[in-house]
């Protein structure tokens, strides 16, 4: 799966985000200001170049309020991958905590789809003026995040974003996430 995603990143390379006349001093390098556009560019290019990237299927989620941006299937593989695209500046420290998704929604998703493979694709970008350039993405399985930390302030699962993974079952992941929520005093009946 990683090779397919990396192939589309290489195809895109770099692009202008706005007309230079509109922002004569360039964009401030803030990832959240372009994150939805980056997600759209990646997903649409995965669809456009699915054959060249070795993909059998690229589908949109049923609605916009899901924990993923597209569903992928590699040619010759029956497994389905749910992909959530995040944007980060290439200059951002990879060892810091990264918001993955709302913990209660993740629990619901894993309980609805017990064999779920939910991947986070961190699109590392460099912003210079009106240009955005993709760097090599970081890809990891949400259930395998190295540290399961529940942020009680925003109700998000947080973890480091360096690609380190700790293999565990989905059931082990959900159980540990519920435990962390319980420790924070935020576990409701899910």
Which residues share a beta bridge with 126? 133
Residues of the chain above pLDDT 70, percent: 96
2-183 belongs to which homologous superfamily? Answer: DNA mismatch repair MutH/Restriction endonuclease, type II (3.40.600.10)
The per-residue pLDDT for range 69-112, each reduced to its tens digit, is 999 999 999 999 999 999 999 887 655 678 899 999 999 999 99
Helix 103-112, helix 170-183: angle, nearest 10:
150
In this structure, are residues 131 and 16 in contact, taking their beta carbons and an 8 Å threshold? yes
Q: What was the pLDDT predicted at 45?
A: 97
75 Cα distance to chain centroid: 21
Scanning the chain, the segments in alpha helix (DSSP H) are 2-12, 35-48, 103-112, 170-183
Question: Once rounded to an integer, what is the mean pLDDT over residues 29-38?
Answer: 91
- Looking at every residue in the chain, the average pLDDT score rounds to 91
- Residue keyed to tokens 């929604």: 105
Whole-number Å distance between alpha carbons of 186 and 47: 39
Whole-number Å distance between alpha carbons of 80 and 124: 24
Predicted TM-score (pTM) of the model is: 0.91
DSSP E strands in 93-173: the ranges are: 97-102, 118-128, 131-134, 138-141, 149-151, 156-160
Q: How confident is the model at residue 121 (pLDDT cuts 50, 70, 90)?
A: very high
Parse the chain into domains and list their residue ranges. Answer: 2-183
| Overall residue count recorded for the chain in this entry | 190
DSSP 112: H
Token code pair at residue 164 = 């380190």
Token code pair at residue 58 = 């690229």
In this structure, are residues 188 and 158 in contact, taking their beta carbons and an 8 Å threshold? no
Q: How confident is the model at residue 190 (pLDDT cuts 50, 70, 90)?
A: very low
Whole-number Å distance between alpha carbons of 143 and 106: 10
């Amino acid at each position: 799966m990683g090779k397919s995603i990396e192939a589309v990143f290489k195809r895109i390379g770099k692009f202008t985000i706005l007309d230079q006349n509109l922002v004569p001093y360039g964009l401030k390098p803030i990832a959240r200001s372009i994150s939805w556009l980056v997600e759209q560019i990646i997903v649409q290019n995965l669809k456009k170049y699915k054959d060249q990237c070795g993909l059998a299927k690229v589908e949109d989620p049923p609605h916009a309020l899901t924990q993923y941006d597209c569903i992928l299937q590699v040619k010759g593989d029956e497994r389905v991958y749910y992909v959530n695209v995040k944007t980060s500046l290439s200059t951002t420290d990879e060892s810091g905590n990264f918001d993955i998704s709302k913990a209660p929604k993740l629990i619901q998703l894993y309980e609805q789809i017990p064999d779920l493979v939910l991947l986070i694709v961190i699109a590392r970008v460099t912003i210079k003026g009106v240009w955005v350039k993709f760097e090599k993405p970081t890809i990891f399985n949400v259930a395998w995040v190295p540290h399961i930390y529940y942020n009680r302030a925003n109700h998000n699962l947080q973890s480091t974003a360096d690609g380190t993974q700790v293999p565990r079952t989905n059931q082990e992941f959900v159980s540990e996430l519920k435990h962390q929520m319980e420790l924070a005093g935020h576990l409701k009946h899910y």
